């Protein structure tokens, strides 16, 4: 009991500390993974203290929460998740923590892609999200389309305003400024991709994280692994993809920051192409890395993708 009280106090200390300086207390917010954590920071600014559960370079698909994560959720006044089956471990964490506050689903209102509508490159749909989502196979990576990212930001701004109504006008102003940047970035990505000859707009990555990006910006993404990272592709799937690479002369082959690189390296070797770098798919980089924010992630990825597609 004593230890638990001390732990609670130590977690609450940053907020108590600011309150003691007669400043407005910051709103403790938990975000399930790093991209949402950045969005909450952009909208919340100095008014929020964000705790990101699955941090930089961490694979949120197969994430295993720690006891300290349950404590952080318990202390929160708002929890933000992606939804679409990406971070369903958070639901268990919320239940075990006893948290009873608001939970915002950032992807609410976006049109989900399913693998049936998408680019099935021969991997089986059973690569979906473990057990509960294997049949429906919704693609959770909606943030890879900046239009969806804008919807995420609006949902987050509304949730922050509801959790902290006294600062609603600041959240709204921060969100407007951030949305303007994302609109401009969306235009930049479109223009960059349009500079690539249409027949060259094809890329190989580790897992199917770029379906929304592909649909929004007109790039075909091929992957040996499905929309989750919890199963390895079969030898036949990899062999089929290697044949496709050779037939279509695809040279844009990329690793991802949170996925095991072994399959991709072997695939590139056998297809006789070099890996062109590391894309940020499901997690941001550390603060000193090339994709420390949602915006930086797009600039980094597009900065690698476009020259590689041009060949
Ligand atoms: Zn993923």
Given a cut of 80, whether residue 139 has pLDDT beyond it is: yes
Predicted pLDDT at 228: 86
Predicted pLDDT at 5: 47
Q: Which residues contact 13 (CB under 8 A, 6 or more apart)?
A: none
User: Per-residue DSSP letters for 31-100?
Assistant: EEEHHHHHHHHHHHGGGEEEEEEE-TT--STT----HHHHHHHHH-SEEEE--TTTTTHHHHHHHHHT--
Q: Which residues contact 306 (CB under 8 A, 6 or more apart)?
A: 192, 193, 195, 196
Residues around the ion ligand 1 (C-beta < 5 A) = 209, 282
Q: How many CB atoms lie within 10 A of CB 6?
A: 10
Spacing, Cα 224 to ligand 1 middle (Å) = 13
Under 8 Å between Cβ of 169 and 179: no
pLDDT-derived band of residue 136, with 50, 70 and 90 as boundaries?
low
pTM for the full model?
0.86
Model confidence pLDDT, tens digit, residues 57-103: 999 998 999 999 999 999 999 999 999 999 999 999 999 999 999 99
Tell me the chain's radius of gyration from C-alpha atoms: 20
Spacing, Cα 169 to ligand 1 middle (Å) = 34
Spacing, Cα 153 to ligand 1 middle (Å) = 20
Spacing, Cα 208 to ligand 1 middle (Å) = 7
Predicted pLDDT at 273: 93
The alpha carbon of 306 is separated from its chain's Cα centroid by a whole number of angstroms, namely 21
Model confidence pLDDT, tens digit, residues 145-184: 999 999 999 999 999 999 999 999 999 999 999 999 999 9
- pLDDT, mean of residues 199-228: 94
Spacing, Cα 57 to ligand 1 middle (Å) = 12
Tell me the percentage of the chain whose pLDDT exceeds 90. 75
Spacing, Cα 175 to ligand 1 middle (Å) = 26
User: Per-residue DSSP letters for 255-308?
Assistant: EETTS-SHHHHHHHHHHT--EEEEE--SSPPPTTSTTSSHHHHHHHHHHHHHHH
Spacing, Cα 61 to ligand 1 middle (Å) = 6
């Amino acid at each position: 009991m004593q230890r638990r009280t001390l732990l609670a106090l130590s977690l609450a200390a940053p907020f108590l500390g600011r309150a003691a300086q007669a400043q407005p207390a910051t709103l403790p917010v938990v975000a399930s993974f790093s991209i949402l954590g950045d969005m909450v920071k952009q909208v919340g600014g100095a008014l929020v203290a964000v705790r990101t559960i699955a941090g930089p370079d961490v694979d949120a698909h197969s994430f295993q929460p720690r006891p300290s994560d349950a404590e952080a959720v318990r202390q929160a006044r708002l929890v933000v998740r992606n939804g679409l089956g990406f971070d369903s471990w958070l639901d268990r964490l919320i239940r075990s923590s006893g948290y009873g506050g608001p939970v915002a689903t950032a992807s609410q209102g976006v049109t989900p892609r399913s693998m049936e509508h998408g680019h099935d490159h021969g991997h089986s749909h059973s690569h979906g999200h473990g057990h509960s989502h294997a049949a429906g196979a919704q693609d959770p990576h909606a943030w890879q389309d900046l239009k969806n990212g804008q919807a995420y930001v609006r949902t987050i701004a509304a949730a922050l305003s509801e959790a902290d109504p006294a600062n609603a006008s600041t959240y709204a102003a921060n969100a407007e400024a951030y949305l303007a940047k994302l609109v401009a970035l969306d235009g930049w990505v479109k223009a960059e991709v349009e500079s690539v000859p249409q027949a060259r707009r094809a890329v190989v990555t580790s897992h199917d994280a770029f379906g929304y990006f592909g649909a929004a910006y007109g790039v075909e993404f091929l992957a040996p692994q499905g929309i989750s990272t919890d199963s390895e592709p079969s030898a036949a799937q990899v062999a089929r993809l290697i044949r496709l690479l050779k037939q279509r002369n695809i040279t844009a082959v990329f690793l991802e920051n949170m996925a095991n690189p072994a399959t991709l390296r072997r695939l590139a070797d056998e297809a006789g192409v070099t890996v062109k770098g590391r894309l940020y798919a499901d997690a941001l980089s550390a603060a000193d890395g090339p994709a420390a924010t949602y915006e930086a992630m797009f600039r980094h990825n597009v900065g690698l993708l476009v020259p590689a597609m041009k060949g």
